[in-house]
Amino acid sequence: MKSFKNRDFLTLMDYSQDEILRIIDLSDELKEKRVNGESHAYLQGKTVAMIFEKHSTRTRLSFQAGAAHLGLQAFYMDPSTMQISRGESLMDTAKTIDRYADALVIRTHEQAIVNDFAKYMDRPVINALTNESHPCQLLADIQHVREKMGRLKNLKIGYVGDVWNMAHSWGIVSSIFGWDMMYALPKKYEHLFWPRAKEFIEKTNKETGGSFTMTQNLKEAITDADVVVGITFVSMTRGATEEDMKKKLAEFMPYQINTEVMSWAKDDGIFMHCLPAHRGEEVTNEVIDGPQSFVFDQAENRMHTEKALMALLLGGIE
């Protein structure tokens, strides 16, 4: 297996199934240490810079808490107070950060921005969310699925939500693990799926035996699903008007996950949501607070998987 040290984490398309499982296995170990109160400060004396251009609760807090557990000092950098907001180039910003910090965690808009930081930095760059990809969330989701289902094989994923970073990322992971993913959405939005992810998914499914289907039939997507994923219908989109968002919400509302919809999934199926949830829109209270939902266990795993990722990329653990 290729060494993790000094690698970037831009999308899960850059990592093999075995490499992803290495991260998940280490996440389990660090989670157990946290539960048992065992010290695991593998990155004492190192630093990580954090740039967040988008709102964040779980991602920012999980990275900062996880960094503290690892003995890693995290510095939050407000983009509005950085010189880049006054015209300094991305290249100069990246090269400067590279001299001060041992890694960069960045949450921004376009994937190209993350890729450019990685281009100009020698230190690891970690994608904490872009419009196209949310790889850190999927690490937590993989850990969560394995914890709750007891396996990572022979799974059907029923997915509902906006054509945005989570849809792309779930499609990528499903193809890597050979899962069957059915994505229910209004047909007019299908063409918005990230072309790079679509190409990767099609190619990888041929190798792993997985499948990826877009459908307008919600019942078809959810029936016999092991995992039902509900994601916001209207994502953090720049430039969208309030009228645009209202129209889009109305078009997606027939795809809401409610108790009837969950009854179509397998009896031991689970509901997942990356949060924040818009209760009464993509999911009802009865489902997200119900016996098949463990969304706060899922959210907790963000911290454990991000710790494992940082420990590996920064060389604290081989």
Q: Report which of 167, 131, 137 is spatially closest to residue 240, judged by C-alpha positions.
A: 131
Residue of 216, 9, 195, 43 lying closest to 118 (CA atoms): 9
DSSP code at position 280: T
Helix then strand then coil, in percent of the chain rounded to 5, is 50, 15, 35
| Alpha-helical segments (H) within the chain | 17-36, 58-69, 90-100, 111-120, 135-149, 165-177, 195-208, 218-222, 242-252, 259-263, 285-288, 295-313
Q: How much is the pLDDT for 229?
A: 98
Query: What CATH code would you report for 137-298?
Result: 3.40.50.1370
DSSP for residue 172: H
The confidence score (pLDDT) of residue 238 equals 58
Answer yes or no: CATH 3.40.50.1370 is held by domain 12-133+301-313.
yes
In the chain, residues under CATH classification 3.40.50.1370 are: 12-133+301-313, 137-298
Which residue's structure tokens are 């967040």? Answer: 52
pLDDT per residue rounded down to tens, the chain (318 residues): 899 999 999 999 999 999 999 999 999 999 999 999 999 999 999 999 999 999 999 999 999 999 999 999 999 999 999 999 999 999 999 999 999 999 999 999 999 999 999 999 999 999 999 999 999 999 999 999 999 999 999 999 999 999 999 999 999 999 999 999 999 999 999 999 999 999 999 999 999 999 999 999 999 999 999 999 999 999 866 567 889 899 999 999 999 999 999 999 999 999 999 999 999 999 999 999 999 999 999 999 999 999 999 999 999 998
Helix (H, G, I), strand (E, B) or coil at 227: strand
Res 241: pLDDT: 87
pLDDT recorded at residue 1: 86
